[in-house]
Structure 1
């Protein structure tokens, strides 16, 4: 993995949302980009990681430490009422901060 190209911030962001079970359409809505653009970024990620599928890219990135997903990101607040409201809000927030908050 040492010779592979690094992932861009947008590629990591798309991969993080995909790791949380979001579809390309949902990721596009969250990030304010087209579904096709999400697929473009995930495809680039697959190429850089030398894998063929989205799930393989997620697995490889997680194992390689390129992305990390907190357990709370998978929590479904509707199914887990024991979580405090602040934890539920954190679970819905973007896994990466935007580079320019004005965008």
Structure 2
């Protein structure tokens, strides 16, 4: 599961080597954007959904499996609880006889 963290561009970094992308999402019917940077060079998520304490673990798990990033707008401890409630990884089903 991805939790989006928006980072700032440090002033001490050579900007030619520092690649910053922009991420976009909608929150309360308002289009928003922010800079995206990943220290591990992970690409920005293609789709972002705002998540909060009302989101069920099954919904969060399904969205994460689809590659959707979750932008958490709730209590940190509740986010950790949601991660703990994520269904366990199940191996892909194989056709009978393999």
Q: Normalising by structure 2, report the TM-score.
A: 0.26
Q: Which has a greater percent of helix?
A: 1
Normalized per residue, the structure richer in strand is: 2
Looking at CA atoms only, which structure, 1 or 2, has the larger radius of gyration?
2
